[in-house]
Structure 1
Amino acid sequence: MENILEVKDLNISFHTFSGEVQAIRGVNFELKKGETLAIVGESGSGKSVTTKAIMRLLPPQNSEIKSGEILFDGKDLAHLSEKKMQKVRGKDISLIFQDPMTSLNPTIKVGKQIMEPIIKHQNASKSEAKKRTLELLSMVGIPNPEQRFEQYPHQFSGGMRQRVVIAIALACNPKVLIADEPTTALDVTIQAQILELMKELQKKIDTSIIFITHDLGVVANVADRVAVMYAGKIVEIGTVDEIFYNPQHPYTWGLISSMPSLDSTEEELYAIPGTPPNLLHPPVGDAFAPRNEYAMQIDLEEQPPMFKVSDTHYAATWLLHPDAPKVEPPAAVAKRMKQFQAGQEGQ
């Protein structure tokens, strides 16, 4: 499949009173046409910073793209002028934020907010934009679109507001849709509805999706490929089956082990020990080493390269070096893998 977006050796820093925070450190990935790529990791791992850099929405006063390329449609977005980026944002690449209430203007009717990108990017008349808006409201599952068109965001529930935000993001049939934890602010039952809606819409409009989440359980149902981020780096990337059935990085093992399960008999849920490193002073070796019970001396001295597991699966861990001792994933990982497989077979 053809790549629609490529991120190459991206390095991003934030300049603070304490010094330079190296938030993104050499990130590489590509997004293929029509696929969903999930980026997972703990808070602070760099997921949202990476995607906001693609949209060029990082604060200009204290953030800096130090090096790297963001290639889209033959253009390097990392070095595009703001004027040219305005033609890309909302038209070719759209973003769904976490909290629908802060994404919508409370003083403007919902219909007008959906119409705005259609008029701006597609030079549509007001009547054409209204017709398209009513279609979008219906498409995202909002009943009585004519009536809802005239209402304000406070008249919608949280789930319905998120549907409106999705309608705005899809207004111009973007080639890439970035969903930044779009279900975090919603309750569990509404989360499932929104995720199902996104899968249906992707088939209808044939867009590529970057799905940001800290919840591996969500990933299993929506993604084609998964990139695992830690401390500003991608530490493992592969198809969803490879990440769940054959995870290679100890951090991925930790994330899978910490997934809650309905049939779990453990009294306590597993948690990865320790905390992520301070990126004001990034570690010399593997950033995960202080939290990794399988860490070797080399982990403290040198960053591991991306080792190839298969044509689609790579992981940055010294455990994949030919001279490294053979280490099996923890029992909790094997258990979660079986549960995941049973869940997939039961669908």
Structure 2
Amino acid sequence: MKKMLEVKNLEISFDTFAGKVQAIRNVSFDLKKGETLAIVGESGSGKSVTTRSLMKLLASNANVENGEILFDGQNILEKSEGEMRKLRGSKISMIFQDPMTSLDPTMPIGKQVAEPLMIHHQASKKEAYKKALELLEMVGLPNAKDRFKNYPHQFSGGQRQRIVIAIALICNPEVLIADEPTTALDVTIQAQILELLKDLQKKVKTSIVFITHDLGVVANIADRVAVMYAGKIVEIGTAEEIFYNPRHPYTWGLLGSMPSIESSASRLYAIPGTPPDLLQPPKGDAFYPRNEFALKIDAEQQPPYFEVSKTHKAATWLLAPQAPEVTPPEEIQKRWKKFEELKRAKEVKDNE
């Protein structure tokens, strides 16, 4: 399957008054055509910085220390601002977290949706407005034709997010980056937006990078999941592997802190401690101080990636051949059993 994006050994720092913050540390991943890759992790783990770098939208105090971001075989990091303006919105689009700050309060929403088509594809006003109306109806904006000339403040939060999605999709981008697009919405609208993104992906075949701090949000939308911690990807695999066969203690913590109907625990699990200070990144495993299963080597040496399957790898010394067996939380053990059941069911189906 064709790779739409390839991120290789990306390292990004930020100059601050306190010193240089090592925000992104040797991150590598790819995005295949038509797939949804979710990047999850706590606030400050590096999710948004990573994805903003895909559109070269980093702050002025950011430094790309190393790495490549390949799109269509070309390194985005080497492109000029003029070249990036042609790429943004046309080939790669982004849905930001807060739709109200993404929309121009002085411009009717119909014009805002149509504008990228006129800029990037030189479409006539009539053609652009027609396509904009079709797209607003496709994303489920109520009474789109009658509200075409309304302003952003006249819409609800969920409706504004649908408008932002329409703007991002108007030029049929090959890659869509969704940076926590449902965080500011209530649970019901959140579910509607996620279902909308799934439906639109089937129709327009766009590859999606979905950013969130909530693993539960991506359970039904992601094909693959990358778990980030302290500026590094600590585990990556298919959604099924990450949810039912997690191998990194940090992923265990994220999953354990998710509310579940099936959970028998009277209170949710909370990962102890706080993420490390990336002004002085730790010598060993960054998760070591918060990891109840930590080994002595975790304090001294960063773990390499260990392969769990062809599609699944995790950076934890617990997967080393010489590592002792650990007993993970009960919730994770249940997930492992569920994973074995799913594997057996799949094998039976494949052999029929």
TM-score of the two chains, using structure 2 as the length reference: 0.94
Tell me, in whole angstroms, the C-alpha distance in 2 between the residues paired with 1:6 and 1:23: 19
Q: Could you tell me which residue of structure 2 aligns to residue 208 of structure 1?
A: 207
Tell me, in whole angstroms, the C-alpha distance in 1 between the residues paired with 2:231 and 2:242: 19
Q: Could you tell me which residue of structure 2 aligns to residue 136 of structure 1?
A: 135
In structure 1, give the amino acid aligned to 2:57.
L
Tell me, in whole angstroms, the C-alpha distance in 2 between the residues paired with 1:122 and 1:140: 21
The answer to whether the 8 A contact 1:9-1:26 is kept is yes
In the TM superposition, what whole-angstrom CA distance separates every residue of 1:296-344 from its partner, at most 9, and x where no partner exists?
11100010011111110010001111111122321122346678999xx
Tell me, in whole angstroms, the C-alpha distance in 2 between the residues paired with 1:55 and 1:101: 21
Q: Deviation at 1:265?
A: 4.2
Q: Could you tell me which residue of structure 1 aligns to residue 108 of structure 2?
A: 109
In structure 1, give the amino acid aligned to 2:30.
E
Tell me, in whole angstroms, the C-alpha distance in 2 between the residues paired with 1:317 and 1:337: 17
Q: Could you tell me which residue of structure 2 aligns to residue 198 of structure 1?
A: 197
List alignment gaps of at least 5 residues for structure 1.
none
Q: How many residues align?
A: 343
Tell me, in whole angstroms, the C-alpha distance in 1 between the residues paired with 2:216 and 2:103: 28
Q: Deviation at 1:149?
A: 1.0
Tell me, in whole angstroms, the C-alpha distance in 2 between the residues paired with 1:128 and 1:214: 39
Q: Could you tell me which residue of structure 2 aligns to residue 323 of structure 1?
A: 322
Alignment of 1:47 with 2:47, yes or no, is yes
Alignment of 1:94 with 2:128, yes or no, is no
The answer to whether the 8 A contact 2:245-2:335 is kept is no
The answer to whether the 8 A contact 2:34-2:207 is kept is yes
Tell me, in whole angstroms, the C-alpha distance in 1 between the residues paired with 2:195 and 2:336: 23
The answer to whether the 8 A contact 2:245-2:339 is kept is no
Distance change >3 Å, CA 97–CA 155, structure 1 → 2 = same
Tell me, in whole angstroms, the C-alpha distance in 1 between the residues paired with 2:263 and 2:239: 23
- Percent of counterpart pairs with the same letter? 70
In the TM superposition, what whole-angstrom CA distance separates every residue of 1:261-304 from its partner, at most 9, and x where no partner exists?
23544332110000000000000000000000111111000100
Alignment of 1:14 with 2:47, yes or no, is no
Q: Could you tell me which residue of structure 2 aligns to residue 163 of structure 1?
A: 162
In structure 2, give the amino acid aligned to 1:22.
Q
List alignment gaps of at least 5 residues for structure 2.
346-352
Q: Could you tell me which residue of structure 2 aligns to residue 5 of structure 1?
A: 5
The answer to whether the 8 A contact 1:177-1:209 is kept is yes
Q: Could you tell me which residue of structure 1 aligns to residue 34 of structure 2?
A: 34
Alignment of 1:154 with 2:115, yes or no, is no
TM-score of the two chains, using structure 1 as the length reference: 0.96
The answer to whether the 8 A contact 1:256-1:336 is kept is no
Tell me, in whole angstroms, the C-alpha distance in 2 between the residues paired with 1:144 and 1:274: 49
Tell me, in whole angstroms, the C-alpha distance in 2 between the residues paired with 1:310 and 1:341: 14
In the TM superposition, what whole-angstrom CA distance separates every residue of 1:151-180 from its partner, at most 9, and x where no partner exists?
000111110000000000001000000001
Tell me, in whole angstroms, the C-alpha distance in 1 between the residues paired with 2:258 and 2:339: 11
Q: Could you tell me which residue of structure 2 aligns to residue 231 of structure 1?
A: 230
Q: Could you tell me which residue of structure 1 aligns to residue 245 of structure 2?
A: 246
Q: Could you tell me which residue of structure 1 aligns to residue 71 of structure 2?
A: 72
Q: Deviation at 1:143?
A: 2.4
Alignment of 1:260 with 2:237, yes or no, is no
Tell me, in whole angstroms, the C-alpha distance in 1 between the residues paired with 2:295 and 2:26: 23
The answer to whether the 8 A contact 1:257-1:336 is kept is no
In structure 2, give the amino acid aligned to 1:48.
S
Tell me, in whole angstroms, the C-alpha distance in 2 between the residues paired with 1:237 and 1:174: 25
SS at match of 2:145: helix
CA RMSD of aligned residues (A): 1.7
Distance change >3 Å, CA 336–CA 261, structure 1 → 2 = farther
Q: Deviation at 1:75?
A: 1.1
Q: Could you tell me which residue of structure 2 aligns to residue 301 of structure 1?
A: 300
SS at match of 1:148: coil
